[in-house]
C-alpha cells in the first residue's frame, strides 16, 4: 500500500465487505504493510512480571526478554504490588475462591462488596456507591442507566470513549465542548436550556495530564437548572486533594459534583469501577445499569485486595507525597531538556514529539532496547500533529531508576528532536 503511514485506525471503521466476518478489503493490506507492522508491534508486548517500577518484558522490538524501567504503568501508588494488599488478596482467595460466580442482584454480592462500596461512598462524601467489574463498564453503565432519549449529555471533547459508548446506548443527545472551553460549554447549555442535562468532565485528562477547570464548569452549569455534573476521576482518585479523594476535593467542590466515577484499575492497583452519588439514583442504577445488572460481580479476591489498598492509601499521605515528589523531580529534569510537555499538571506527563510517526516509533524502539518501557501514543488516540510518549509517574520509582530513565530520554528523544531541528535549544 503506498503511503500506508498516512492512514490510521480512524480510516477503517466503516466496513463495505459483503460478509460480516470479513474486515474491510483494504484493512488487511494496510495491516500487512511493513511500516504499519512496526507500529503495531509495540502493542500487546508481554510483561513477564508485576507492574513494578522495574519489571521484565518480552520485547516485540527484538524478541528478547529484558529488564526495563517501567514508565507505563497505572499502578501510580504501587498498591497493586503492596505487600499488605497482596496478603489481603491471598486471604480473600482462600476464603471466597476465585470469582463471585453470580450477578450482584441474585447471588454475586458478598459481604466484601457491601463493605467496600460503603467505604468508597464515605471516602467520596456521597450517600451510596455501586461497584462494577470494570472501569469502562462503570462509565458505560452509569450513562446508559441514567440518561434517556430526550436528555442531553454534554462532555469535554477529551473525555474517555466509555462515556461516548454509554451515551450511544442511552439514546440521549450527545454533544462535545472544546477542551476546557467554558464559552463553548455555556453556548451548548444555552441551546439546550430546559432539558435534563448531564455535563461530563475528567479530573485529570488522560492523554494530556491537565486538570478540568472545575470551578468554572460549576459556575457555568449553575446558570442552568436541572444540569448535573459527572466527573471521571480515573486518573485522580487517591492522588489529588488533601485526603486523596480526587480533583473535586482538590478544588473543594465535592458537593457540586452530582456523580463521581472512579476506576479501581489505576491508583487502586486492582480492576473494576465505581459510581458514587445520592442513594436514590444508585438504587435506580442497580435496576437499569446493564454492566451491573447483567454481569458477574467483581471478584471477591480483588475486592479483598482493594479494601486493603484503600486503607493503605488513606491512612496517611506518604504514598501520594512520594508520587508528587517523584513527579516534580522528573518534570523539572524534562523541562531542563526543553521538551514539550503540553499542559500537564499531574502524574501523567506527555512528551509531545510532533507529526512524525517514523520518528516516534524509532525512538520508542531505541528506548526499549536500552531498557526503558515508554510506549508511543499515535493518532487517533491523540492529534496527528501531536504524537507523543506518555509517561505515567509512580511513587515506586527510585531516584536511580528516574535518573536512568531521564538519561535514556535525553539521549534518544531530546537529542533526536534537537538533530531534527524540533527543539529550540
Ligand atoms: C479517563 C478514563 N476513564 C475510564 C477508563 C476505564 O477504566 P478501566 O481501564 O479501569 O476500565 C479509563 C481507562 O483507560 C480512563 O482513562
**Distance, CA of 63 to chain centre:** 28
Confirm if 12 and 24 have CB atoms less than 8 A apart: yes
Q: How far is the CA of 392 from the centre of ligand 1 (A)?
A: 14
* Domain range list for the chain: 36-70+318-419, 81-315
CB within 8 Å of 116: residues ≥ 6 apart = 131, 303, 306, 307, 310
Q: How far is the CA of 113 from the centre of ligand 1 (A)?
A: 21
Per-residue pLDDT of the chain (425 residues; tens, 9 = 90+): 778 888 999 999 999 899 999 999 899 999 999 889 988 999 999 999 999 999 999 999 999 999 999 999 999 999 999 999 999 999 999 999 999 999 999 999 999 999 999 999 999 999 999 999 999 999 999 999 999 999 999 999 999 999 999 999 999 999 999 999 999 999 999 999 999 999 999 999 999 999 999 999 999 999 999 999 999 999 999 999 999 999 999 999 999 999 999 999 999 999 999 999 999 999 999 999 999 999 999 999 999 999 999 999 999 999 999 999 999 999 999 999 999 999 999 999 999 999 999 999 999 999 999 999 999 999 999 999 999 999 999 999 999 999 999 999 999 999 999 999 999 76
Q: CA of 3: how far to CAs of 30, 36, 257, in Å?
A: 10, 10, 47
Confirm if 279 and 261 have CB atoms less than 8 A apart: no
Beta bridge partners of 211: 204
Cα distance between residue 131 and residue 319, in whole Å = 24
**Reduced to 3 states, what is the DSSP secondary structure of residue 347?**
coil
For 355, list phi and psi in degrees, rounded to 5.
-90, -15
Instruction: Tell me 1's DSSP state.
Output: -
Q: Given 3-state DSSP classes, what are the helix, strand and coil percentages for the chain, each rounded to the nearest 5?
A: 45, 15, 40
CATH architecture of 81-315: 3-Layer(aba) Sandwich (3.40)
Beta bridge partners of 204: 211
Confirm if 206 and 160 have CB atoms less than 8 A apart: yes
Q: How far is the CA of 270 from the centre of ligand 1 (A)?
A: 12
Atom nearest to 204 CA in ligand 1: 1
Confirm if 363 and 45 have CB atoms less than 8 A apart: no
Q: Is the CB of 212 under 6 A from ligand 1?
A: no
Beta strand pairing status for 372-373 and 173-177?
A: unpaired
Beta-carbon neighbour count of residue 115 at 10 Å? 12
Q: Is the CB of 202 under 6 A from ligand 1?
A: yes
C-alpha cell at 68: 526495563
Cα distance between residue 304 and residue 279, in whole Å = 24
C-alpha cell at 382: 491523540
Cα torsion for 118, 124, 126, 127, to the nearest 10°? 0
Per DSSP, the residues of 107-143 read II--HHHHHHHHHHHHHHT-SEEEEESSHHHHHHHHH
Q: Is the CB of 346 under 6 A from ligand 1?
A: no
Q: Is the CB of 201 under 6 A from ligand 1?
A: no
Statement: 36-70+318-419 belongs to CATH 3.90.1150.10: yes
**Reduced to 3 states, what is the DSSP secondary structure of residue 278?**
coil
Place of cell 500537564: 344
Q: Is the CB of 263 under 6 A from ligand 1?
A: yes
Q: What is the pTM of this model?
A: 0.96
Amino acid at each position: 500500500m503506498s503511503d500506508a503511514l498516512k492512514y490510521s485506525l480512524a480510516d477503517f471503521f466503516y466496513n463495505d465487505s459483503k460478509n460480516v466476518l470479513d474486515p474491510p478489503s483494504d484493512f488487511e493490506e494496510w495491516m500487512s504493510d511493513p511500516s504499519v507492522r512496526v507500529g503495531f508491534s509495540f502493542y500487546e508486548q508481554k510483561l513477564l512480571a508485576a507492574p513494578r517500577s522495574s519489571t521484565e518484558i518480552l520485547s516485540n522490538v527484538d524478541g528478547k526478554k529484558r529488564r526495563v524501567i517501567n514508565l507505563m504503568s497505572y499502578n501510580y501508588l504501587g498498591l497493586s504490588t503492596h505487600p499488605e494488599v497482596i496478603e489481603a488478596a491471598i486471604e480473600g482467595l482462600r476464603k471466597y475462591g476465585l470469582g463471585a460466580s453470580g450477578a450482584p442482584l441474585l447471588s454475586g454480592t458478598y459481604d466484601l462488596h457491601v463493605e467496600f462500596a460503603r467505604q468508597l461512598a464515605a471516602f467520596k462524601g456521597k450517600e451510596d456507591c455501586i461497584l462494577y467489574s470494570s472501569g469502562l463498564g462503570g462509565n458505560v453503565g452509569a450513562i446508559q442507566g441514567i440518561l434517556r432519549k430526550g436528555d442531553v449529555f454534554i462532555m469535554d471533547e477529551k473525555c474517555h470513549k466509555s462515556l461516548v459508548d454509554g451515551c450511544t446506548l442511552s439514546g440521549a443527545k450527545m454533544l462535545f465542548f472544546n477542551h476546557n472551553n467554558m464559552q463553548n460549554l455555556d453556548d451548548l447549555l444555552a441551546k439546550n436550556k430546559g432539558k435534563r442535562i448531564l455535563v461530563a468532565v475528567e479530573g485529570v485528562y488522560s492523554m494530556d495530564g491537565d486538570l478540568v477547570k472545575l470551578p468554572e464548569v460549576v459556575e457555568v452549569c449553575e446558570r442552568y437548572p436541572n444540569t448535573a455534573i459527572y466527573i471521571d476521576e480515573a486518573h485522580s482518585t487517591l492522588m489529588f486533594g488533601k485526603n486523596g479523594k480526587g480533583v473535586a476535593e482538590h478544588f473543594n467542590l465535592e458537593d457540586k459534583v452530582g456523580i463521581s466515577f472512579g476506576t479501581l484499575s489505576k491508583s487502586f492497583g486492582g480492576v473494576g469501577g465505581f459510581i458514587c452519588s445520592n442513594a436514590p439514583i444508585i438504587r435506580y442504577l442497580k435496576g437499569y445499569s446493564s454492566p451491573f445488572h447483567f454481569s458477574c460481580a467483581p471478584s471477591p479476591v480483588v475486592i479483598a485486595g482493594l479494601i486493603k489498598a484503600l486503607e493503605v492509601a488513606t491512612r496517611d499521605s506518604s504514598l501520594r507525597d512520594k508520587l508528587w515528589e517523584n513527579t516534580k523531580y522528573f518534570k523539572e529534569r524534562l523541562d531542563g531538556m526543553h521538551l514539550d510537555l503540553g499542559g500537564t499538571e499531574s502524574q501523567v506527563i506527555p512528551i509531545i514529539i510532533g507529526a512524525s510517526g517514523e520518528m516516534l516509533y524509532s525512538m520508542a524502539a531505541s528506548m526499549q532496547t536500552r531498557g526503558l518501557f515508554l510506549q508511543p501514543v499515535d493518532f487517533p488516540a491523540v492529534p496527528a500533529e501531536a504524537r507523543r510518549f506518555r509517561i505515567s509517574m509512580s511513587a515506586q520509582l527510585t531516584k536511580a531508576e528516574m535518573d536512568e530513565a531521564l538519561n535514556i530520554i535525553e539521549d534518544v528523544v531530546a537529542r533526536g528532536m534537537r538533530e531534527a531541528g524540533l527543539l529550540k535549544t
